[in-house]
Amino acid sequence: MTPEQEAEVARQLRMIRRGAAEIVPEEDLVRKLRQSVATGQPLRIKLGLDPTAPDIHLGHTVVLQKIRQLQDLGHVAHLVIGNFTGQIGDPTDKSETRRQLSEDEVQSNAQTYVAQIFKVLHPDKTEVVYNADWLAPLTFADVVRLASTLTVARMLEREDFQKRFRENRPIHIHEFFYPLMQAYDSVHLRTDIELGGTDQKFNLLMGRTLQREFGQEQQVALMMPLLEGLDGVNKMSKSLGNYIGVAEDPHTMFGKAMSIPDELMPRYFELVSEVPLEELECIQSGLKDGSLHPRDAKMRLAGELVRRFHGEDASREAVARWRQVFQAGGLPDDMPEAECNGGEVWIVELLVNLGLAVSRSEARRFLEQGGVRIDGERLQDVDAKVEVRDGMVIQVGKRRFVRCRVR
RNA sequence: GGAGGGGUACCAAAGUGGCCAACUGGGGCGGACUGUAAAUCCGUUGCGUAAGCUUCGAAGGUUCGAAUCCUUCCCCCUCCA
């Protein structure tokens, strides 16, 4: 290889390593990169997706961003929509048996999914495939043959299975097929690098095992860390509600980003922003020596996120609104409006009618706790009647506003 | 097939005849403070203006009175086979 080619390999390796939790085995990656650079053949990247959860959030983008970087380096990505595996059910949640999705549902889920994903990935370097295309035609004999390459002991290496086995909790036989199928996807696609979170390690390595069985070159498992959610403790997930969805509106996204614990900022910068490495170091040292205000750093982060998913204008606007509402204590320009009847209304009823409280008891509670403002004036009298005027602004808590429009 | 354990509010988990609209923790919400919706602290968390009403897997029953006792049913889990 020429010195230029060697340099290219080194460059790619550096980029791929960035933020990665683990690369198994790294020597294989180097070998594949050398091969790719020498021959001009792009590497085949794979990411498996579960079509049952159509909303993607920042946690998912950690892996997606890495794929994007690989695409930028010239490689091609296969997005495997698990329309077959999805019906089997992911072993991790034992409680809910998954509803079988209809063909149409899978299609439409996959479409919304992919649309969101292309906010991060290059559409022209991404191939979307469905694993039912090659998994469904397998015969029982095929499946048995696949299964015969593995042992129960090997399966029980998986932490989740091991734990359940130890605790005498049930493990269904079909759950063993999940990693097997995912591994077979890699065989089918002749995958060079499979991406996933660190929690996917077992499945990713299973791909290597199966590829070897099939006499293929083994894939590299590239694992990204799991991003902590807004609470700073648990991994970001929709069910925990600690997520920022990529399809969320700019203001929500900005606000949620502002609510992450300070300690989490560097991680978010590293894993989900496009801020270059050098700048990142600047921010970190600034935070450390106190020359950079944590609030300003976080606003920068929030702005970056909005810019990434909604564009420059939306980002600027979100920042402006934040300043206006939270730093200056003012009102947002664009608050929801509600049609109201004019005249005197009991405040409790008004709050419920406007959807600011779910029940009268809750409305009363808000009032008693001093959480209600009308045109900026705090109102605590539970029995109060208010004269509804056009343009009147009712606020509950710090961030819920409604402007009344009298019919 | 046999034996046992369990289903309580958003979640976890107390309560085993009245003092239980139900301890406590988490979460959520409100407030104070701040540097932001960080951190911390305080309050609050079924519905109802109220009297009161409806909740403890479901349906019946006993009782002046049941989350607590009885009957039937549904669901979950464990062990043995």
CATH number at residue A13: 3.40.50.620
Q: Is residue A236 part of a domain?
A: no
> Which pLDDT does position A98 carry in this prediction?
46
Domain endpoint, select from A327, A349, A381 = A327
CB A54 within 8 A of CB A109: yes
Q: Is residue A293 part of a domain?
A: yes
Q: Are residues A180 and A263 in the same domain?
A: no
Q: Which residue has the higher pLDDT, A42 or A169?
A: A42
Q: Are residues A354 and A217 in the same domain?
A: no
Confidence of residue A140 (pLDDT cuts 50, 70, 90): confident
d(CA A167, CA A94): 14
Q: Are residues A153 and A274 in the same domain?
A: no
Q: Are residues A31 and A157 in the same domain?
A: yes
Q: Is residue A87 part of a domain?
A: yes
The CA distances from residue A298 to A70, A75, A241, A262, A342, in Å, are 28, 33, 20, 8, 42
Q: What's the domain count of chain A?
A: 3
Which CATH number fits the domain that encloses residue A382?
3.10.290.10
Check pLDDT > 70 for residue A381. Answer: yes
Q: Are residues A200 and A347 in the same domain?
A: no
Q: Which residue has the higher pLDDT, A125 or A105?
A: A125
d(CA A15, CA A271): 13
pLDDT, tens digit (0-9, with 9 covering 90-100), for A158-170: 777 777 676 656 6
Alpha helices (H) in A136-249, listed in sequence order: 140-147, 152-155, 159-166, 173-189, 201-213
Q: Are residues A127 and A260 in the same domain?
A: no
Q: Are residues A308 and A360 in the same domain?
A: no
Chain B nucleotides reached by a protein CB under 7 Å: 27-32, 35-39, 43-50, 77-79
Domain endpoint, select from A183, A206, A224 = A224
CB A255 within 8 A of CB A399: yes
Strand B: protein residues, Cβ closer than 7 A: A 168-170, 231-232, 241, 251-252, 254-256, 258-262, 293-295, 298, 326-327, 348, 352, 358-362, 364-366, 369-371, 382-383, 396-400
Q: Which among A241, A282, A277, A273 has a CA at the least distance from the CA of A259?
A: A241
Residue A230: CB atoms within 10 Å: 20
Q: Are residues A128 and A268 in the same domain?
A: no
Q: What is the domain range of residue A396? A: 337-406
Domain endpoint, select from A224, A258, A273 = A224
Q: Which residue is closest, via its CA, to the C1' of B11?
A: A240
Mean pLDDT, to the nearest integer, of A112-116?
85
- Protein A81 CA to nucleic acid B74 C1', in Å? 37
What 3-state class would DSSP assign to A255?
helix
Q: Is residue A366 part of a domain?
A: yes
For chain A, the residue count is 407
> Which pLDDT does position A175 carry in this prediction?
74
Mean pLDDT, to the nearest integer, of A7-23?
91
pLDDT, tens digit (0-9, with 9 covering 90-100), for A347-356: 999 999 888 9
Which CATH number fits the domain that encloses residue A301?
1.10.240.10
Check pLDDT > 80 for residue A401. Answer: yes
Whole-number average pLDDT of chain A: 85
The CA distances from residue A352 to A345, A368, A374, A378, A384, in Å, are 11, 15, 15, 18, 14
Check pLDDT > 90 for residue A340. Answer: no
- The DSSP element (H or E) to which A81 belongs, if any, is strand A76-81
Cβ neighbours for A24, distance < 8 A, ≥ 6 positions apart: A201, A204, A205, A220, A221, A223
User: CA angle, A166 as apex, A163 and A167 as ends, to 5°?
Assistant: 85
pLDDT, tens digit (0-9, with 9 covering 90-100), for A317-332: 888 888 887 776 667 7
> Which pLDDT does position A171 carry in this prediction?
67
CB A396 within 8 A of CB A369: no
Query: Among residues of chain A, what percentage have pLDDT more than 70?
Result: 91
- DSSP codes, A91-137: TT--SSPPPPPPHHHHHHHHHHHHHHHTTTS-GGGEEEEETHHHHTT
What is the ipTM for the molecules in this complex?
A: 0.80
Q: Is residue A232 part of a domain?
A: no
Q: Are residues A265 and A394 in the same domain?
A: no
Q: Are residues A350 and A293 in the same domain?
A: no
Q: Is residue A332 part of a domain?
A: no
User: Does the CA dihedral A154-A159-A162-A164 come out positive or negative?
Assistant: negative
Query: Among residues of chain A, what percentage have pLDDT more than 90?
Result: 34
Check pLDDT > 90 for residue A100. Answer: no
Q: Which among A162, A65, A55 has a CA at the least distance from the CA of A116?
A: A55
Cβ neighbours for A370, distance < 8 A, ≥ 6 positions apart: A378, A380
